[in-house]
Structure 1
Amino acid sequence: MPSNKSVSEAPITQMLNCRILRDHRLQREDLWVREGKILDPEKLFFDEQGYADEQVDCGGAVVAPGFIDVQINGGVRRPAVFRCWRSRASDGVCAPLPPAGGYGVDFSQPSDRVGDGVSLVARKLLEHGVTSFCPTLVTSPAHVYRKVLPQIKVQDGGPHGAGVLGVHLEGPFISAKKKGAHPERFLRTFSGAGAAADLMDAYGALDNVAVVTLAPELEGSRSAVGELRRRGVTVSLGHSVANLAQAEEAVCHGASFITHLFNAMLPFHHRDPGIVGLLTSERIPPGETVFYGMIADGIHTNPAALRIAHRAHPAGLVLVTDAIAAMGLPPGRHTLGQQDVEICGPHAYLAGTQTLSGSIAAMDACVRHFKRATGCSVEEALEAASLHPAQLLAISERKGTLDFGTHADFVLLDDELNVKATFISGREVWTKTAEEQQKPT
Structure 2
Amino acid sequence: MKPKSGLTRFHNCYILRNGKIIKEDLWIRDGKIVNPEQVFYVEQAEADVTENCENLLIAPGFIDIQVNGGWGVDFSYDCENVEEGVKKVAKELLAHGVTSFCPTMVTSEKEKYQKILPKIQKKQGGKDGATILGVHLEGPFISLVKKGAHKEEYIKNPEKGLESIREVYGSLDNVIIVTLAPELQGATEATKSLTKMGIKVALGHSAASLAQGEEAVKNGANLITHLFNAMLPFHHRDPGLVGLLASSTEKQVYYGIISDGIHTHPAALRIACRTNPEGLVLVSDAFAAQGLADGTYRIGPQSVSVEKGRAYISGTTTLCGSTTALDECVSTFKQATNCSVEYALETASLHPAKALGIDHIKGNLNFDCDADFIIMNPDTLKVLSTWIAGECVYRV
Q: 8 Å contact 2:5–2:46 — kept in the other structure?
A: no
Partner Cα distance (1:315, 1:20) in 2: 20
Partner Cα distance (1:280, 1:383) in 2: 21
Query: Which of 93, 115, 135 is residue 167 of structure 1 equivalent to?
Result: 135
Corresponding residue SS for 1:201: helix
Partner Cα distance (2:242, 2:5) in 1: 49
Corresponding residue SS for 1:430: strand
For the pair 1:195 / 2:161, whether they are aligned, the reply is yes
Q: CA deviation at 1:330?
A: 2.4
Query: Which of 55, 58, 80 is residue 112 of structure 1 equivalent to?
Result: 80
For the pair 1:338 / 2:304, whether they are aligned, the reply is no
Contiguous gaps of at least 5 residues in structure 2: none
Q: Which residue of 1 aligns with 2:58?
A: 63
Corresponding residue SS for 2:156: coil
Amino acid at match of 1:264: A
Corresponding residue SS for 1:324: coil
Amino acid at match of 1:416: T
Q: CA deviation at 1:10?
A: 5.0
Q: 8 Å contact 1:107–1:118 — kept in the other structure?
A: yes
Query: Which of 13, 18, 25 is residue 8 of structure 2 equivalent to?
Result: 13
Q: Which residue of 2 aligns with 1:53?
A: 48
Partner Cα distance (1:332, 1:266) in 2: 31
The superposition leaves residues 359-406 of structure 1 with CA deviations (integer Å, 9 ceiling, x where unpaired) of: 000110000000000010000000000000000111011000100000
**TM-score (normalised: structure 2):** 0.98
Amino acid at match of 1:274: G
For the pair 1:142 / 2:126, whether they are aligned, the reply is no
Q: Which residue of 1 aligns with 2:126?
A: 158
Q: Which residue of 1 aligns with 2:28?
A: 33
Partner Cα distance (1:215, 1:110) in 2: 26
Corresponding residue SS for 1:26: strand
Corresponding residue SS for 2:90: helix
Partner Cα distance (2:279, 2:128) in 1: 31
The sequence identity of aligned pairs, in percent, is 54
Q: Which residue of 1 aligns with 2:172?
A: 206
Query: Which of 242, 250, 268 is residue 305 of structure 1 equivalent to?
Result: 268
Partner Cα distance (1:328, 1:384) in 2: 22
For the pair 1:323 / 2:286, whether they are aligned, the reply is yes
Query: Which of 183, 188, 210 is residue 217 of structure 1 equivalent to?
Result: 183
Q: CA deviation at 1:111?
A: 2.1
Partner Cα distance (1:305, 1:150) in 2: 38
Corresponding residue SS for 2:256: strand
Q: 8 Å contact 1:110–1:147 — kept in the other structure?
A: no
The superposition leaves residues 348-367 of structure 1 with CA deviations (integer Å, 9 ceiling, x where unpaired) of: 00111111000000110000
Partner Cα distance (1:48, 1:330) in 2: 53
Q: 8 Å contact 1:10–1:35 — kept in the other structure?
A: no
For the pair 1:416 / 2:372, whether they are aligned, the reply is no
Q: 8 Å contact 1:347–1:359 — kept in the other structure?
A: yes
Q: 8 Å contact 2:93–2:130 — kept in the other structure?
A: yes
Contiguous gaps of at least 5 residues in structure 1: 77-103, 433-441
Partner Cα distance (1:10, 1:334) in 2: 50
Q: Which residue of 1 aligns with 2:349?
A: 386
Q: Which residue of 1 aligns with 2:238?
A: 272
Query: Which of 196, 203, 208 is residue 242 of structure 1 equivalent to?
Result: 208
Q: 8 Å contact 2:5–2:48 — kept in the other structure?
A: no
Corresponding residue SS for 1:315: helix
Partner Cα distance (1:330, 1:300) in 2: 19
For the pair 1:314 / 2:277, whether they are aligned, the reply is yes
Deviating beyond 3 angstroms after TM superposition, the runs of 4 or more aligned structure 1 residues are none
Q: Which residue of 2 aligns with 1:359?
A: 322
Corresponding residue SS for 2:100: strand
Q: CA deviation at 1:59?
A: 1.5
Partner Cα distance (1:110, 1:136) in 2: 13
Corresponding residue SS for 1:168: strand
The superposition leaves residues 85-105 of structure 1 with CA deviations (integer Å, 9 ceiling, x where unpaired) of: xxxxxxxxxxxxxxxxxxx10
Q: Which residue of 2 aligns with 1:431?
A: 395
The superposition leaves residues 154-176 of structure 1 with CA deviations (integer Å, 9 ceiling, x where unpaired) of: 01010111000000000000001
Corresponding residue SS for 1:397: coil
The superposition leaves residues 43-88 of structure 1 with CA deviations (integer Å, 9 ceiling, x where unpaired) of: 1111111111110011111100000000000011xxxxxxxxxxxx
Q: 8 Å contact 1:13–1:53 — kept in the other structure?
A: yes
Partner Cα distance (2:81, 2:294) in 1: 26
For the pair 1:132 / 2:100, whether they are aligned, the reply is yes
Corresponding residue SS for 1:366: helix
Corresponding residue SS for 1:219: coil
Partner Cα distance (1:190, 1:308) in 2: 33
Q: CA deviation at 1:11?
A: 1.4
Q: CA deviation at 1:332?
A: 2.0
Q: Which residue of 2 aligns with 1:81?
A: none
Partner Cα distance (1:202, 1:72) in 2: 21
Q: Which residue of 2 aligns with 1:403?
A: 366
Partner Cα distance (1:214, 1:271) in 2: 24
Q: CA deviation at 1:195?
A: 1.3
RMSD: 1.0
Amino acid at match of 1:118: V
Q: CA deviation at 1:333?
A: 1.3
Query: Which of 16, 19, 39 is residue 24 of structure 1 equivalent to?
Result: 19
Corresponding residue SS for 1:227: helix
Q: Which residue of 2 aligns with 1:439?
A: none
Corresponding residue SS for 1:181: coil
